[in-house]
Structure 1
Amino acid sequence: MYRVWNFLTNYSLLLIIGAVLALIWANTNPDTYHHFVEFVIWDHAPIGHYHDGHRTLTLHYLVNDVFMALFFAIAAKEVWEAVVLEDGSLRGKKAATPLFATAGGMFGPIGVYLGLALFLGSDTYNAVANGWAIPTATDIAFSYLVGRIVFGAGHPAVRFLLLLAIADDAAGLIILAIFYPSGDLAPIWLLASFGAAAGVFILFNWLPRKLDAGNELRPNSTWVRKNLHFVPYAIAGCISWYGFMRSGLHPALGLLPVVPAIPHADRAFGFFSDAESHLHDLLNVMEHALKHPVEVVLFFFGLLNAGVEFSAIGDATWLVLAGLIIGKPVGILLFGWVAAVPLRLGIPQGMRIIDLVVIGFVAAIGFTVSLFVASVAFDAGPVQDAAKMGALFSFGAAIISIVAGKLLRVNKIELQAAE
């Protein structure tokens, strides 16, 4: 269990601590908590929330809109490698059934969320409808951890779950960009974002390799890597982020265009793999350099977003939970079965169709991304707080997953090297 605990402390513990502290603080002294969250760092700033003709940089904006861009960049890096590399986990027939299951894991929660909201009446539906994407999220880190506990590190369902979670993240990034703009759309500003990405790729990635063609010593590429390192990409990232902010798209996605421009290895060992620490391409080096800073960012993200008073529990809480705990397993089972049986795409050897139900419960842990979507889907107030509470309560899916694994007689498979 040492490596499981090591994984938890590396990727999740600070986030949990931040969320727990926020809950305690918000329920013991809500006034000071909300004053802390909305603390003004810089009024009339060049970045920040736009109101009354000027921008204000608050602590909440700094974490959610600026620093969380690093978190989404790491997620985008894993998605990018999974899609474009020859041995990427989201390429070919091996990814077909997980991708179908991912679609089910999104349409199922949306159907349950909106269907139940409509059943509760038009007033409730109108109040909560914009939060339809909240229960589509899957928290990769926590789901992976719980999946290892339920199935064992060596079970093929763990890899299936990981593929599903990565694809879910990719879809979530698209949903955030399209359906949850941060302001009035001004797409002309995206020229700055994609121009910066294209420029840094051509000048500092493609051109040095082109000049080094046929020269095994690769002098130009080596000079760029040794002397400039990540600096051109950091500058391009800042320009891209600013372009996203001014375009009206959520600025937390602002680094995404630059990620594909960074030199990367011709293979990936997989999300959370220790082996990737031995890859020395710039993209992996930058990812691992950001690991600890992003952990700190996630602590503050939990602290600034999970502070919800228990009195805020309402319709949105139960709709988010129903979407996750009912919609996820039903959708994943239905779409996964269609892919595996009628379409004959199959499932990994050693997995059963019924295991898709357990995978669905594990994937119902929304937490980080669900919290983030709730914060952009609704204005600050009781509906947002109620939806956030649903995202926090989705931790209960971990217990349901363990119980379901026992009831459905999951064949737990351990790998001695993984423990």
Structure 2
Amino acid sequence: MKDQRRRSSLPRLSWFAVEHLLLLPLGALIAMVWVNAVPESYYRFTYAVSFTVNDVGMVFFFALITKEVVEATVPGGVLHPWRRALLPVIAAIGATALPALIHKQIVVALDEPMLAGGWPVSLATDLAVSYFVARIIFRKHPVIPFVLLLGIACDAIGFLALALFNPESDLHLATGALIVAVAVGMAAALRRTRVKSFWPYLIGAGSASWYGFFWSGLHPALALVPIVPFLPHAARDPGFFVDARPEARDTLSQFEIWWRYPAQVALFVFGLVNAGVPIGALELGTLGLPIAVLAGRPLGVLAGAGIARVGGLHFPHRVGWRDVLVGGLTAAMGFTVGLFFCTALLPPGQLRSETSMGVLLSLAGAPLALLFAKILHVGRFSEH
């Protein structure tokens, strides 16, 4: 079978790295060493390839993330029915509002008014990093699609804040939204005419959506997020993180089979291109951002989820408050989306460097999430 042949063609060590999602941290580790050893060489490399990697290559990773969310919302999925799918979206309001409020209070307390304009950075969630850490902790637990949908909603709120509170940004939201709407219409038409190959969705609707995101000033890597739900798929969820069988005929499964290995390679280069932050002097103001997101995100998720529960919404099956707390920590890391916000909001110089270092320090959410998972006995540390 095609998938088995592709797997067997990989060296054993390479296959282990792909299967255990080790390519992203490997790329990040190489980047950190490279930028602090030979910075000129690293910056030349990233200047040459960053657009291709971040805005094109990562399209397929985010498409596969969306595929998991789509399958989780069909009958039998952990986010079905709508009362379960809507809860992480409502929780995202608390997950963004509380970090922003904490960040503002820290800036006031430290008397660092120049850092106040960077508050939208506290809204960012890096789906790639969150997915990686959540998979390590929870493996195939149903809290993962909850975290993914939470992260998508947080980033949507962040981009909206960027557009509303950064008047100097070159955003054309109305025009971009119109182009994306046309792309969605194309995908819907392909679905109605029962087009089974994923290529017309990808080349036609996907390309139009990418251009719409790019023109709007938003992250083009999210271009397939509104398109993937229109790919014909199985009527019931086969199980969360159950790999599509090579003989599967539905379009969504064929898309996954074709792109899951290239997406892993894109993750490696993504880490290599984006994780190269020089280790500079740690200013006191730098600590405001990681404190805001590492404390505010999980507590905000709990608050938002609590309000949603009072309103009649439900957690997925087998997901409890402890899982949501740890999941909120995995969603606290901004990384590349946070760095993107830094570039859009702050001028080059010391201020941007301090905030970027704060974004990098938010990666402490990974060991914190592991620690809390162990203390609370969730995920891989569960007693069951």
Shift of 1:168: 1.4
CA distance in 2, matches of 1:320, 1:251: 25
Q: State the identity %.
A: 30
Structure 1 residue ranges without an equivalent (≥5): 40-58, 209-223
Query: Cα–Cα, structure 1 residues 276 and 172, in superposed 2: closer, same or farther, change >3 Å?
Result: farther
Shift of 1:261: 3.0
Query: Aligned ranges for residues 72-91 of structure 1 at < 5 Å?
Result: 72-83=62-73, 85-90=74-79, 91=81
How big is each residue's C-alpha offset from its partner over 1:250-291, in whole Å with a ceiling of 9 and x where there is no partner? 323333333233222222345533357664311221133111
Conserved? CA contact 1:98–1:163, under 8 Å: no
> In the alignment, does 2:14 pair up with 1:14?
no
The letter for the 2-side match of 1:166 is: L
Shift of 1:301: 1.7
Conserved? CA contact 1:8–1:145, under 8 Å: no
The letter for the 1-side match of 2:103 is: Y
Counterpart of 1:164 in structure 2 is 146
Query: Cα–Cα, structure 1 residues 262 and 384, in superposed 2: closer, same or farther, change >3 Å?
Result: farther
Query: 2:50 aligned to 42, 60, 64, which one?
Result: 60
Structure 2 residue ranges without an equivalent (≥5): 1-13, 164-168
Counterpart of 1:133 in structure 2 is 123
Shift of 1:206: 0.9
Query: Aligned ranges for residues 25-174 of structure 1 at < 5 Å?
Result: 25-39=34-48, 59-83=49-73, 85-90=74-79, 91-94=81-84, 101-121=91-111, 123-134=113-124, 139-148=129-138, 158-160=141-143, 162-174=144-156
Query: Aligned ranges for residues 20-419 of structure 1 at < 5 Å?
Result: 20-39=29-48, 59-83=49-73, 85-90=74-79, 91-94=81-84, 101-121=91-111, 123-134=113-124, 139-148=129-138, 158-160=141-143, 162-175=144-157, 177-180=159-162, 183-185=170-172, 187-202=174-189, 204-208=190-194, 225=196, 230-231=199-200, 233-269=202-238, 271-274=240-243, 279-311=248-280, 313-314=282-283, 317-337=286-306, 353=321, 356-367=324-335, 369-371=337-339, 373-374=341-342, 376-378=344-346, 381-408=349-376, 412-413=381-382
Conserved? CA contact 2:126–2:151, under 8 Å: no
CA distance in 1, matches of 2:288, 2:239: 33
Counterpart of 1:212 in structure 2 is none
CA distance in 2, matches of 1:272, 1:343: 30
Of 345-354 and 392-401, deviating more is 345-354
CA distance in 1, matches of 2:301, 2:213: 33
Question: Taking structure 1 as the reference length, what is the TM-score of the superposition?
Answer: 0.72
Two-structure CA RMSD over aligned residues (Å): 3.7
Query: Cα–Cα, structure 1 residues 394 and 281, in superposed 2: closer, same or farther, change >3 Å?
Result: same
CA distance in 2, matches of 1:278, 1:315: 56
Query: Cα–Cα, structure 1 residues 198 and 347, in superposed 2: closer, same or farther, change >3 Å?
Result: closer
Question: Taking structure 2 as the reference length, what is the TM-score of the superposition?
Answer: 0.77
CA distance in 1, matches of 2:180, 2:316: 40
CA distance in 1, matches of 2:199, 2:262: 16
Of 329-338 and 239-248, deviating more is 329-338
Conserved? CA contact 1:110–1:135, under 8 Å: no
CA distance in 1, matches of 2:253, 2:72: 14
The letter for the 1-side match of 2:367 is: I
Give SS of 1:310's match: coil
Conserved? CA contact 2:46–2:273, under 8 Å: yes
Number of residue pairs aligned between Structure 1 and Structure 2: 364
Conserved? CA contact 2:201–2:231, under 8 Å: no
Query: Cα–Cα, structure 1 residues 235 and 332, in superposed 2: closer, same or farther, change >3 Å?
Result: closer
The letter for the 2-side match of 1:207 is: T
Q: Which structure has the bigger radius of gyration?
A: 1
The letter for the 1-side match of 2:192 is: W
CA distance in 1, matches of 2:313, 2:186: 41
Conserved? CA contact 1:105–1:331, under 8 Å: yes
